[in-house]
A = this chain, B = another copy of it.
Amino acid sequence: MSQTNYLLVYNMFSLGIASMLFTTIFLIVARERVLPRYRMAVLVSATVTGIAAYHYFRMFDSFNHVFGPDAIEGAVYNVGYRYVDWFLTVPLLLVETVAVLAIARAAQSALLVRLVPAAAAMIALGYPGDAGLDIGGVSAPVWGLLSTIPFLYILYILFVELGKSLGKQSKQVQRRIKELRLLLLATWGVYPLAFIANMNSTGFEEQGFVLRETGYTIADILAKCLFGLMIFSIARMKSAEDDKSFAASEYKGK
């Protein structure tokens, strides 16, 4: 791997570690800055970035064992870390999204029993294609396509079903939740592009690898750290709306 490419991926992984780790610590401590009823959403956000921080430490090491100056003979870059990470964190991202709405418990459950299995299926179907596993001769594009079905279903739930419960939120919160959904759509859209970049890289393996790892890392930081901070900001906005004395203790004047 060229020195430029090596340093690019190396620094991206390190940026990933720093972003995930300190978003986690910030959110755990900052949970007290929202009302108790929004703290589960903030805590789940912290759990997502915490799990990702662990995996970025591992990916950083795995990358260095293969491409670093002290590479270990026979080491293979383990793309499994990303998929194990997503298998745990993507369902949790949907949990935090629903939790911050603080809608009735029955309505929450109705959304989650559909979102969580769809998210798990989306990740599980993507892995064999990205890792180049041979399972019954199914090719990478087919795995990619299969994985897209639950993705579209999730979008349907978020944009159509969840939209129905937005009417009860204040104008300000509604706008922020719509931004949140757009962030999710924009960042989750990067993953299939990075998947395709790697898939079509025959003959340009190094370029495909660099594009994929860089793309996944940027998308991860936006989809987990920025997303988690937006969840926190919605929680804070709703806390101030729910309780005037809380608002007075948190903000000076109007």
Residue in B7, B22, B85, B133 whose beta carbon sits within 8 Å of that of A18 in the complex: B85
Closest to A102 in B: B252
Which residues of the other chain, B, contact A14 by a CB distance below 8 angstroms? 58, 80-81, 84
Complex contact B69–A47 (CB within 8 A): no
CA distance A37 to B37 in the complex (A): 19
Interface size class of A (residues with CB under 8 A): 35 or more
**How often does this chain occur in the complex, in copies?**
2
Q: Which of A26-34, A147-155, A182-190, A194-202 lies at the binding interface?
A: A26-34
Closest to A69 in B: B74
CA distance A53 to B106 in the complex (A): 33
Which residues of the other chain, B, contact A249 by a CB distance below 8 angstroms? 35-37
Complex contact B19–A88 (CB within 8 A): yes
Given contacts A3-B76, A80-B11, contact A30 B18 (CB under 8 A): no
Residue in B19, B26, B69, B253 whose beta carbon sits within 8 Å of that of A73 in the complex: B69
Interface 1/0 per residue, A218-250 and B, CB below 8 Å: 000000000000000000000000100000011
Question: A: which residues have CB within 8 A of B?
Answer: 3-4, 7, 10-11, 14-15, 17-19, 21-22, 25-26, 28-33, 35-37, 39-40, 43-44, 46-47, 50-51, 54-55, 58, 65, 69-70, 72-76, 78, 80-81, 84-85, 87-88, 102-105, 133, 242, 249-254
